[in-house]
Amino acid sequence: QSVLTQPPSVSAAPGQKVTISCSGSSSNIGNNYVSWYQQLPGTAPKLLIYDNNWRPSGIPDRFSGSKSGTSATLGITGLQTGDEADYYCGSWDSSLSAGVFGGGTKLTVL
């Protein structure tokens, strides 16, 4: 059981928009930054969003992050088949003094 809760899967058509939710608590998302990662099949995870809503250089603005209370959301617009991947949210948990991840969400672009 992951500390952060994500839907196991989401799907949408090419060109459409999708959102992936990440739910936590006051000890993690509520009082700490959230990061989002994309893991394409057979590759290492890649940082998409950090500090709730900042994109590293090279990440297209089709990817966005937001946070409200103890939940965070990753948004992806203009879906491409190349976006099919597993997406993970992560945060620091101040009560555990540990990093925590969501269980991951598999995105299918139909």
Positions in the binding site for another protein (CB under 8 A): 2, 32-35, 37, 39, 44-47, 50-51, 56, 88, 90-92, 96-104
- Locate all alpha helices (DSSP H) within the chain, ordered by sequence: none
Nearer to another protein, 6 or 18 (CB): 6
Residue closer to another protein by CB (options 17, 48) is 48
74 CB-contact burial (10 Å; exposed 0-12 / middle 13-18 / buried 19+):
buried
State how far the Cα of 34 lies from the Cα of 66, in Å rounded to an integer: 9
Give me the least distance between CB of 63 and another protein, in Å please. Answer: 14
CB of 72 to another protein, least distance (A): 12
Name the residue nearer to another protein (CB basis): 83 or 91. 91
Q: How far is CA 59 from the centre of its chain?
A: 14
- Whether the Cβ atoms of residue 46 and residue 39 lie closer than 8 Å to each other: yes
Cβ contact 76:85 at 8 Å:
no
Residue 110: CB minimum distance to another protein, A: 23
Phi, psi of 83 (to 5 degrees): -85, -10
Rounded to the nearest whole angstrom, what is the least distance from the CB of residue 81 to another protein in the complex? 22
Nearest to another protein of 16, 89 (CB atom): 89
